[in-house]
């Protein structure tokens, strides 16, 4: 009985990861990492040399697109300069933007 319960639990975890919960899709994702600052705000770190454009989907705050310069970190903000909590993050998509860095807020 315990084995069945364990296998069922592992199967549910695998299914959740396969759905992309918290995943980043796109070419630039291998150079992109997500974290939170001391206040719990969502941060995106671009580890590549090229600028990237990231679209972030959150549970309560909506969808945001931000441009992150190569080697830089950007915080995600709502209207009124209030940060988006890292706990709201669901998934994202990232692609190379190229060109000169200009935040799209």
Per-residue pLDDT reduced to its tens digit, 13-32: 333 333 345 799 998 999 99
Q: Domain range for residue 69?
A: 22-96
Within-domain flag for 61? yes
**Number of Cα atoms under 13 Å in the Cβ half of residue 67:** 13
Q: Structurally, how many domains does the chain consist of?
A: 1
Instruction: Write down the pTM of the prediction.
Output: 0.70
Within-domain flag for 56? yes
Cα dihedral sign for 49, 55, 58, 64?
positive
Which pLDDT score is estimated for 97?
86
Q: What is the CATH number of the domain that holds 92?
A: 2.60.40
pLDDT above 50: residue 46? yes
Within-domain flag for 13? no
Within-domain flag for 80? yes
């Amino acid at each position: 009985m315990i084995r069945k319960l364990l296998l069922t639990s592992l199967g549910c975890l695998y299914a959740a990861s396969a759905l992309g919960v918290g995943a980043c899709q796109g070419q630039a994702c291998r150079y992109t990492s997500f974290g939170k600052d001391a206040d719990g705000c969502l941060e995106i770190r671009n580890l590549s040399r090229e600028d990237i454009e990231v679209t972030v989907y959150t549970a309560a705050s909506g969808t945001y697109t931000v441009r992150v310069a190569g080697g830089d970190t950007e915080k995600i903000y709502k209207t009124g300069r209030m940060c988006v909590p890292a706990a709201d993050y669901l998934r994202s998509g990232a692609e190379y933007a190229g060109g000169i860095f200009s935040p799209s807020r």
